[in-house]
Chains A and B, each alone.
Chain A
Amino acid sequence: MKKVFAIALGILAAIGGFVDIGDIVFNVEAGATFGYQLLWAVVIGVGGIITYAEMCGRVAAASERAVFDVVRERLGVGTGLVALVSGQFVNLMTLAAEIGGIAIALQLLSGLPYRVLLVLGVVALALVLWFMPFGWIERVFGYCGLALLVFAVAAIKLEPDWGSVAHGFVPSTGSGDLAVYGYFVVGLIGAAMIPYEVYFYSSGAVEERWRPKDLGINRANVLVGYSLGGLLSFALMISAGALLLPAGISAELLGTVALVAEVPLGQVGLILALVGMLFAISGAAIDSAFSGAYNVAQFFGWEWGKYRRPAGAPRFAIAWFVMLVLGFLIVVTGVDPILVTELSVIFSVVALPLTYTPILLVANDRAYMGAHTNGRLANVFGVFYLVVVLVIAVAAIPLLLLSNMGQG
């Protein structure tokens, strides 16, 4: 019973932690531009992260290794370094976007100036990460992120045409500008499969010393947690499609996202939406800062661990701190965080093949996995998603340019 409870809590935290600023921006913009027509792309993205997170968890349990240990062992120093540098670049851009998002959410809640809140936000993050035990951090930020469920309520209250919504789950080429549509397909899948998620998940699994007996928990976490997290993405797109598209409102501001909850649900909806956004984005900032630290530490063989006190893993602690500072420096220049968000997702899409190929290779390697290599299902999905990821990686930059970043 206690175990079921523990699993449920873990899943709750995963749901609340699923959505980050990339998901928010792309899902709401997609809803405002194409209504419900891109829901199928979210399904593809969620399927992808489920497939590969499960693999990472299994690799961690069977081989006691996290992703970047695997990347370096399988690809060697040369390719591994390329993967490290590109992975860090992407992590850093993502982190910068999340930090900017935190400041905007705080500004929408408090009315205080943006730059002041940037500083406050980063300082608060650093203090939380230094002093608060990580188990608490994950729970607090995960549960509070669940406030985003308000968008599910908003979606229902806005009374969308559920027939059209159902249609949206069927892949199509959409009506309207093909390049813009393609850009959103790439962005939605990319936002769901963003690399820091698997780096963070696999490092956590190694740190918790998962062994083959934990493979059931791994599957439950991933299947239930990420599917329900995907529901949040649906809710964002559906409510945006129901409110913004008919009104001809484009979504380039986080305030617009909050408005989508305020219009049907009033003040309570607004506050829940803003609080949910704040904690979901903060959680993502933490995860991406740590992913940066994990990757460097795992590549070079340093001590690492989110549960360790800083003195136990000093270079690791310095690494995540440096990530926070660099992320802050990027957004304090005044660059638009929404712009950084879209770029970070698109650039991470370009890097996705380098992220996921080693995982698929190792998950099939008997020397690492023993009896727990990929079954047929895992390989069918694994290969399918590798192809998907290769296609969108090639298409990402051209679509970014052709669609004028989704503006058409």
Chain B
Amino acid sequence: MTTGSIDLALGVLDHQLLDVEGRRCGKVDDLELEGLGEQSPQVVAIVTGPPAWRGRGFVGRMASALARGRTVRVPWSEVSDVASAVHLRSRAAALRLGRGDDRARPFVRRLPRSE
């Protein structure tokens, strides 16, 4: 974990998620905070998936209404580093991330020379 404070808005939100194998598996679509209103609120989890845009402004709300699928909650304890991307400790599948690509892969694999 990088030491020092991280600007949540600019340093984490909307950043790329990378699993332990370096696989791209979504973006930080929203953050779950605890203790708002107290001295030091804490980030408890990352929320990913378009429905998470409900709290992200007017356009975000419109878009989240159109979106299908569910959000995935990634506990903050899974974060190993915050650099240009947010690095996670586990594989994407274990965290139920990157499922879109997993679902699309069988279709693509049917075609020749797709690997």
Residues of chain A having any CB pair with chain B under 8 Å: 63-65, 69, 72-74, 76-82, 130-131, 299-304, 309-315, 317-318, 367-368
Contact = CB atoms under 8 A, between A and B. Distances in A.
Contacts of B11: 367
Contacts of B107: 314, 318
A77 B104 CA distance: 24
A313 B101 contact: yes
A82 B63 CA distance: 11
Contacts of B15: 73
Contacts of B48: 301
Contacts of A74: 10
Contact of B84 (A65, A131, A302, A309): A65
A81 B59 contact: yes
A252 B4 CA distance: 61
B13 to A, nearest CB: 8
A130 B27 CA distance: 27
Interface stretch (B17-25, B37-45, B73-81): B17-25
The 5 closest A-B pairs by CB, nearest first: A78-B59, A301-B27, A314-B104, A78-B57, A301-B26
A78 B60 contact: yes
Contacts of A313: 101
Contacts of B113: 130-131, 309
Contacts of B101: 302-303, 313-315
Contacts, number: 90
Contacts of A82: 59
Interface of B: 7, 10-11, 13-17, 23-27, 29, 48, 53, 56-60, 63, 84-85, 98, 100-101, 104-105, 107-109, 111, 113-115
A64 B84 contact: yes
Contact of A77 (B23, B29, B115): B29
A131 to B, nearest CB: 6
Contacts of B53: 77
Main secondary structure of the interface of A (DSSP, over half): helix
Contacts of A368: 84
Contacts of B29: 77
A318 B104 contact: yes
Given A77-B29, A311-B109, 11 more contacts: A72-B14, A76-B57, A77-B59, A81-B63, A300-B27, A301-B26, A301-B48, A303-B23, A311-B105, A318-B107, A318-B108
Instruction: Please indicate which of the listed interface residues B23, B27, B58 has the most CB atoms of chain A within 10 Å of its own CB.
Output: B27
Contact of A311 (B7, B58, B100, B108): B108
A81 B27 CA distance: 14
Contacts of A310: 108, 111, 114-115
Contact of A79 (B7, B13, B59, B100): B59
A301 B10 contact: no
A304 B101 CA distance: 10
Nearest to A368: B84
Nearest to B25: A301
A368 B14 CA distance: 14
Contacts of A72: 14, 27
Given A65-B84, A311-B108, A315-B101, A304 B60 contact: no
A178 B56 CA distance: 45
B10 A367 contact: yes
A82 B60 CA distance: 10
B85 to A, nearest CB: 8
Most buried by A among B29, B85, B105: B105
Contacts of B13: 73, 76
Given A73-B15, A77-B56, A367-B10, A311 B27 contact: no
User: Max chain A CB contacts within 10 Å: which of B10, B59, B85?
Assistant: B59
B47 to A, nearest CB: 12
Contacts of B98: 303
Contacts of A76: 13-14, 56-57, 60
B105 A314 contact: yes
Given A63-B84, A78-B57, A301-B17, A315 B63 contact: no
B30 to A, nearest CB: 9
Contacts of B57: 76-78
A74 B11 CA distance: 10
Contacts of A69: 16
Contacts of B58: 78
A303 B59 contact: no
A18 B91 CA distance: 41
